[in-house]
Structure 1
Amino acid sequence: MSPVPNGVRASSLDAGWIKSRHSNAEGNCVELAPLVDGAIALRNSRDPDGPALVCASAEVAAFIAAAKDGEFDHLLKAGA
C-alpha cells in the first residue's frame, strides 16, 4: 500500500502527469503519474488541484488490460 493517501491534493504531489494523446480539446481526460513508491496516481485534468486516486501499479495494469479487452465498452454505450 502506498504511503500517499487517496484524496491527497493532486497538485501537492511531486509527479510528472501524463495525459493521453486521445484527450480532446475540452480537456476531458484523466491524467496518470508514477509515484516514487511504485504506485500510480490518477487525477481529473479539469481539476488539477483536486483529489488524486492512488492505486498500486498492479491495479492499474489490471484496469488497462480489461479496457483493452473491451470489458468497459458497455459503459460508454449506456451514455450515448
Structure 2
Amino acid sequence: MSAAESADLQWFKARASTSGNGCVEVAHLPDGGVAIRHSRMPNAEVIRYTGHEWDCFLDGVRNGEFDRPGVADHSREIRG
C-alpha cells in the first residue's frame, strides 16, 4: 500500500503514546484488514494484514506471547 493510498485512511495510535515519541499507527480497512505504519514516518511503507492475521496477533498480545523479556508488565497501568 502506497503512502498516497493510505492518505485517506483514519489512523489511530495508542493513548499511551506520548507526543514526540514514535508509535505504531493502525487504520482499519474496508475489507476487514488492517494497515500499520510508523507515526513519525507517515509517508514510509505501510504494512497490510488481513482481518484474520490481525485477530491472531491481538490474541497473542493479550496472552503475553510477545512480551519483551525482562520488561515489567505495565499493561494494567496503560489500560487504566
TM-score, with structure 1 as normaliser: 0.74
**Aligned equivalents of 1:76 and 1:65: distance in 2?**
21
Q: Let me know the Cα RMSD of the aligned residues.
A: 1.8
1:30 matched residue in structure 2: 24
SS, match of residue 32 in structure 1: strand
* CA displacement 1:28-57 (0-9 Å, x = unmatched): 210110112221100010100111100001
Counterpart in the other structure of 2:55: 61
Q: How far does residue 70 in structure 1 lie from its aligned partner after superposition?
A: 1.0
Aligned length: 70
Match of 1:12 in 2: 5
**Aligned twin of 1:70:** 64
* Percent of aligned pairs sharing the same letter: 34
Tell me the TM-score normalized by structure 2.
0.74
Q: Taking CA–CA contacts closer than 8 Å with sequence separation of 6 or more, which of the two structures ends up with the larger relative contact order?
A: 1
**Contact kept in structure 1, 2:27 and 2:36, CA below 8 Å:** yes
Q: Determine which of 31, 34, 43 is the counterpart of 1:40.
A: 34
8 Å Cα contact 1:10-1:43 kept in structure 2: no
Regions of 4+ moved over 6 Å = none
